[in-house]
Amino acid sequence: MHVGIATDHGGFALKEELVANLRAAGHEVTDFGAYSLESGDDYPDFVTPLAQAVVAGQVDRGVAICGSGVGASVCANKIPGIRAALIHDHFSAKQGVEDDHMNILCMGGRTVGPAVAWDLVQTFLDAEYSQDERHLRRLAKVAGLEGG
């Protein structure tokens, strides 16, 4: 799978570890930065291009990280077509994809350790979008909200 990943300073170390794990697992990775640890950088500068790439189909799914994961989630969800969520548990990582077609997993670099983060990413990437009528009906209603 082609995975995009982005972070600011708050998740830089976690991103670096996840990029290595993703590549070792055979995934193609596009790194949207940050490319170096800069304490004054801003998560929208990295998360926005990631979200735009997911919507454009340039990457299959995305992982967005900031200190808590909250800002990354809020930012990603401002891009029409993105369904991002802050995830701390395996059930939500799987069900968010299956039922809600989540396409960006958000995590906090200061709240989730690297082993748990890697488990969550694997769960997220292994899950498949449901084609069940009830899920598609709900997704259509959510998509309708983006029309303004």
Pick the catalytic residue: 53, 59, 63, 66?
Answer: 66
Tens of pLDDT, residue by residue over 82-111, are: 999 999 999 999 999 999 999 999 999 999
66 in active site: yes
Q: Supply the pLDDT for residue 148.
A: 56
Q: Supply the pLDDT for residue 134.
A: 95
Q: Supply the pLDDT for residue 75.
A: 98
User: What is the domain-level CATH number for residue 15?
Assistant: 3.40.1400.10
Peptide bond between residue 56 and the one before it cis (omega within 30 degrees of 0): no
Q: Residue 90 belongs to what domain range? A: 2-145
Task: State the total domains in the chain.
Answer: 1
Contact 22, 5 (CB under 8 A): yes
Percentage of the chain surpassing pLDDT 90? 97
| Of residues 77, 83, 102, 82, the one with CA closest to residue 91 | 102
The secondary structure of 61-113 as a DSSP string is EEEEEESSSHHHHHHHTTSTT--EEE--SHHHHHHHHHTT---EEEEETTTS-
Instruction: Please report how many Cα atoms fall inside a 13 Å half-sphere around the Cα of residue 58, on the Cβ side.
Output: 12
